[in-house]
Amino acid sequence: MLFLKVLNMSITASWLVLAVFLLRLLFRKSPKALHVVMWALVGLRLVCPFSIESAFSLIPSVETIPQEIITDHSFNVQTGIGFVDEQANEFLGDRYYEGVTVAEGAGMKLTALLTILWLVGMAAMLAYGVFSYMRLRRRVAESIPMQGNLRLCDRIDSPFILGIVRPQIYLPSALRSEDREFVIAHETAHLKRYDHLWKPLGFALLTVYWFNPVLWLAYHFLCRDIELACDERVIRDMELPEKKAYSSALVNCSVSRNAILSCPLAFGEVGVKARVKNVLHYKKPAFWVLCAAIAAIGIAAVCLLTNPIIPDDRLKVFIDCEIVSHHQSKHSTDNYASVDWEVLSNKKIGNKTTLYLWVLYQEYSYDGKLHNESGAHIPTVITVENRDGNYHLVEYWEPRDGSNYAKDIREKFPFFLWRNALDSQKYIASQKEKCERMALEYFTSESSADGADAPDNMQINDHLESLRQEYPQYFGLSTAKGLEVYIWQMAPDSYQCALLPRRNLKYTDTELMRQTPVPIERMRAIVDSYGLPESEVTVHAWQNPYSSYYYEVNEEYREELREKFRSIHPVTPSYENYPLIYDSAVADIDDDGKDELCTLRVGLTSGLFTFRLVIQDAQDSTVKDSFTYYPLKVGEPSFEEESDGSLRIRFAGDDGSVEFYEIALDVNKTDE
């Protein structure tokens, strides 16, 4: 877990490194000292294990490699770049399955191996740094003091600083007298800038993050910019003849790049040609260049030293529930409700969090083919407040239709989000794919394969409500990582269960013994109420210490329990708590002597408020007809039985008006 934390911090810092390269290019005429400040931001990002959350953060993802890889069955990556994630995870998902092409526990073994390689690499880097330092110590052991912290040595070819607490400047005995003044000025400038501390710190960070080639490149340019900044400090008040003499000293003191590689700061260590060119062409930067560079560094710090405001698991569940409850009505239906939302931006003020979203809400039915019954795709602003550890809705906002649509968005969204909020096609393809995939997984999973013996909707509602009252602790759990079911036996045919959110480490006996036991059939109903695919529900066999019934928990027993749990018929459809219909009634609509089930459902909620009438065969639930109605006012429909036994729709408007609609079923209706 520590290695994965370091790996993700390295990836996050890489985005900042790329930004620094861009800023160096844009502000190449700015003081090189500001370039060093830019690299300091990278160091700060690498040092801090945490970061402030900000709505202005441009970091795509702070956990590209999730820690779930250790125990999970998949190898999903989360770069924060949609098309990259989709392509990479689709490729991995099509080829690697735990227990099939990947052995069980492969994630743990892989991360363990990478962790060992990381530790070995750190040890090698540290050993090299210590070896280089000791080698230089031996070479300057025989030196004579000049004045202050200056020393002369016969065994070195280039001047450098050695030491951190009491740094000493070592000069070659063969150094020309005309170069000595410039050399001392340069090395003294290093000390005044504390470069003898910053470069070793950079090397120490590289020791930890040695596996990232981007950071090797960053370290190289850090060393380069340190030398250039030091040169500029020395020559900023020099005239051209003095600059030429200084450049000559650079050339005379230059050495091979391999001469000194770790802690010491050598005078001629890096890029002599570039340094000479910079010295001879140096001009004090214009004031506007300096101001622009400082502003750019400030913006980079705000946008790349901070993390995006990522909704926690409880907030995600809360937002999902609010979206579903906003688009659904008061009663249940067989349709599957699927939600996906794309965060455009967010802001946090005190306990209040505002999310600017593109929301896709879809309802599906399935008869061998997936059918999109209704849905909404609309920019949405949701503000919530965290009080006493619980989230409360402050505002749920959507734009009005028609000519007010764009106007409302521009008034509600920050100006930098206008383009994305008005571009309905930017996210719709990927969001639809996710919603359809969730629906297909639900309908085609074992838990939805056969509905012949399933109880009717009223029985489902009553059953779920009774379970909620009896086992409230098992409802509303976070499903961000999936769910875990622990099953144990108290007698030969007595199976008890506990339900917990999935996490990296398995729950302990003490934690499990605190859970309320639930019979296996009831637990299956509770699990089904979450509407998760089987892949997101892990079934564990557990030996309860208090059970007097002995059984051996081996792989065969585990598989037996998994099959037993999966074979239990589900009794609760997805999103049962947020039903999709206004009213239902049974009547013989087409006078064929057989009853039809009529339901009034929510319609397309992204336009004018609508409702949908669906007429099904009461025996086999076959849809005979459906119709979406667009009333000119807001209200709620319901069924009303007339004196002759026929059925009509009563629409009660919010303005107090009441309208009635007759119902007829065209038995000769064709697809056209």
Residue 566 scores a pLDDT above 80: yes
DSSP state of 335: P
pLDDT of res. 96: 54
> 438 lies in a domain?
yes
Average pLDDT (489-509) is: 80
Residue 272 in tokens: 């002599």
The 3-state DSSP class for residue 563 equals helix
Same domain membership, residue 561 and residue 423: no
Same domain membership, residue 617 and residue 482: no
Final residue of a domain: which of 504, 538, 567?
567
Angstrom distance (rounded) from CA 374 to CA 650: 22
DSSP state of 608: S
Q: Checking DSSP bridges between strand 307-308 and strand 53-54, what pairing results, if any?
A: parallel
DSSP state of 331: B
Residue 258 scores a pLDDT above 70: no
Mean pLDDT for all residues in the chain: 79
Angstrom distance (rounded) from CA 465 to CA 474: 12
Share of the chain above pLDDT 70, in %: 80
Final residue of a domain: which of 398, 422, 444?
444
DSSP state of 25: H
DSSP state of 582: E
Tokens 């004045």 correspond to what residue?
147
Distance of CA 349 to the CA centre of its chain: 21
Q: Checking DSSP bridges between strand 494-501 and strand 370-387, what pairing results, if any?
A: unpaired
Final residue of a domain: which of 415, 444, 473?
444
Report whether 331 contacts 580 (CB < 8 A): yes
Angstrom distance (rounded) from CA 374 to CA 68: 35
Residue 36 in tokens: 């060093």
Angstrom distance (rounded) from CA 166 to CA 544: 63
Same domain membership, residue 196 and residue 135: yes
pLDDT of res. 74: 53
Structural domain containing residue 107: 2-304
Average pLDDT (97-124) is: 78
Report the alpha-carbon angle 164-170-173, nearest 5.
170
How many C-beta atoms surround the C-beta of residue 621 within 10 A? 13
**Segment 210-241, tens digit of pLDDT:** 999 999 999 989 988 998 898 888 888 888 88
Please state the domain count of the chain: 4
DSSP labels for 626-642? EEEE--SS-EEEEEEE-
Angstrom distance (rounded) from CA 24 to CA 61: 24
Residue 519 in tokens: 């019979």
Residue 493: partners with Cβ closer than 8 Å, 6 or more residues away: none
Average pLDDT (276-290) is: 84
Same domain membership, residue 276 and residue 250: yes
Same domain membership, residue 370 and residue 297: no
**Segment 340-397, tens digit of pLDDT:** 888 888 777 778 888 999 999 988 887 777 888 888 899 999 999 888 767 888 999 9
**Segment 188-208, tens digit of pLDDT:** 998 999 888 888 899 999 999
> 87 lies in a domain?
yes
Same domain membership, residue 216 and residue 127: yes
Report whether 612 contacts 626 (CB < 8 A): yes
> 631 lies in a domain?
yes
> 642 lies in a domain?
yes
Model confidence band, residue 330 (pLDDT cutoffs 50, 70, 90): low
Same domain membership, residue 230 and residue 296: yes
Residue 255: what residue type?
V
> 57 lies in a domain?
yes
Residue 270: what residue type?
V
| Lowest model confidence (mean pLDDT) among 42-51, 536-545, 631-640 | 631-640
Same domain membership, residue 472 and residue 438: no
Report the alpha-carbon angle 360-361-366, nearest 5.
125
Angstrom distance (rounded) from CA 576 to CA 220: 59
Same domain membership, residue 432 and residue 535: no
Residue 561 scores a pLDDT above 70: yes
Residue 600: what residue type?
L
> 572 lies in a domain?
no
Report the alpha-carbon angle 632-634-638, nearest 5.
100
> 309 lies in a domain?
no
Distance of CA 189 to the CA centre of its chain: 44
Same domain membership, residue 224 and residue 157: yes
Angstrom distance (rounded) from CA 329 to CA 255: 78
Angstrom distance (rounded) from CA 153 to CA 175: 10
DSSP state of 330: S
Angstrom distance (rounded) from CA 484 to CA 159: 64
Average pLDDT (447-458) is: 41
> 211 lies in a domain?
yes
Residue 362 in tokens: 């879809």
